[in-house]
């Protein structure tokens, strides 16, 4: 009861919200946009590799895909931030440069981790969308004089991407929320900023409640924008 009596939401909002809507929100938005764009590019290239008839390449990609799917995103972020630079330094040592030091900022490590993780999942969306396109369209394109590459890039892939847009939107929403995991590699995003504020004020209930509402508002706005984009896409079709 004493805890409830000491709650002070107005004060917490006045002090915490400016911090959240400053650098913290900027980092979340930048990381989300950059990682999502790179994830789509990564996923597209990954999907093309999985669709190729090169058995060795296919085998390597399948193993990599299973590794990413079988490990948590948080572990991947921690590994990239703490372990990957050490591997680079070891390689530099073997190459005759023992004084080389490799460091990654938490933001860069977050972008890399989110790109690889989401790109791997998105690759399956793109691959499935490509395989779902009627093969008759490719055969018709070949009959009209298109090469296999032209048929793929001019006929099949554009349709596959359009069909995948709703799924991409869901992944974007999830990616925005998963930026909170960057707090565990010390990136000054929303969660990390909130934790720093709590350590100074001990306003645990107020601060985490405010953070939850902020994420909810961000995702509701983004969800609304995605629905508008989907409606426009349907009208164009």
pLDDT in tens, the chain (237 residues): 566 667 888 899 999 999 999 989 999 999 999 999 999 999 999 999 999 888 899 999 999 999 999 999 999 999 999 999 999 999 999 998 888 888 899 999 999 999 999 999 999 999 999 998 888 888 888 888 888 888 888 888 888 888 888 899 999 999 999 999 999 999 999 999 999 999 998 899 999 999 999 999 999 999 999 888 878 776 666
Number of domains within the chain: 1
Q: What is the pLDDT of residue 3?
A: 63
Would you state the structure tokens that stand for residue 209, as one six-digit string? 């409640």
Q: At what angle do helices 204-236 and 9-19 cross, to 10 degrees?
A: 50
- Closest to 179 (Cα-Cα) out of 221, 215, 223, 206: 215
Q: What is the pLDDT of residue 183?
A: 95
The answer to whether residues 194 and 18 touch, using CB atoms and an 8 Å cutoff, is: no
DSSP 3-state of 206? helix
Distance (Å, rounded) from C-alpha 224 to C-alpha 220? Answer: 6
What CATH number is attached to the domain comprising 175? 1.10.3720.10
Q: What is the pLDDT of residue 185?
A: 95
Q: Identify the domain containing residue 78 by its residue range.
A: 2-236
Q: What is the pLDDT of residue 2?
A: 61
Q: What is the pLDDT of residue 148?
A: 82
- Closest to 107 (Cα-Cα) out of 43, 176, 18, 30: 30
The answer to whether residues 158 and 82 touch, using CB atoms and an 8 Å cutoff, is: no
Q: What is the pLDDT of residue 234?
A: 66
């Amino acid at each position: 009861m004493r805890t409830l009596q000491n709650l002070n939401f107005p004060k917490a909002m006045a002090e915490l919200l400016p911090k959240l809507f400053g650098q913290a929100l900027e980092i979340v938005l930048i990381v989300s946009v950059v990682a999502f764009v790179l994830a789509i590019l990564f996923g597209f290239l990954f999907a093309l590799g999985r669709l190729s008839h090169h058995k060795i390449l296919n085998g390597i990609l399948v193993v990599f895909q299973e590794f990413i799917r079988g490990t948590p995103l948080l572990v991947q972020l921690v590994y990239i931030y703490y372990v990957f630079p050490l591997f680079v330094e070891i390689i530099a040592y073997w190459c005759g440069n023992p004084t080389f030091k490799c460091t990654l900022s938490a933001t860069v490590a977050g972008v890399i981790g989110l790109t690889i993780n989401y790109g791997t999942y998105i690759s399956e969306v793109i691959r499935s969308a490509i395989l779902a396109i009627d093969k008759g369209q490719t055969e018709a394109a070949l009959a009209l004089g298109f090469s296999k590459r032209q048929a793929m890039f001019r006929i099949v892939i554009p349709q596959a991407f359009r069909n995948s847009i709703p799924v991409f939107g869901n992944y974007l929403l999830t990616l925005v929320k998963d930026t909170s995991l960057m707090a565990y590699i010390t990136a000054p995003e929303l969660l990390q900023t909130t934790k720093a504020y709590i350590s100074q004020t001990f306003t645990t209930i107020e601060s985490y409640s405010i953070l939850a509402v902020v994420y909810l508002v961000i995702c509701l706005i983004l969800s609304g924008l995605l629905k508008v984009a989907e409606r426009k896409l349907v009208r164009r079709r």
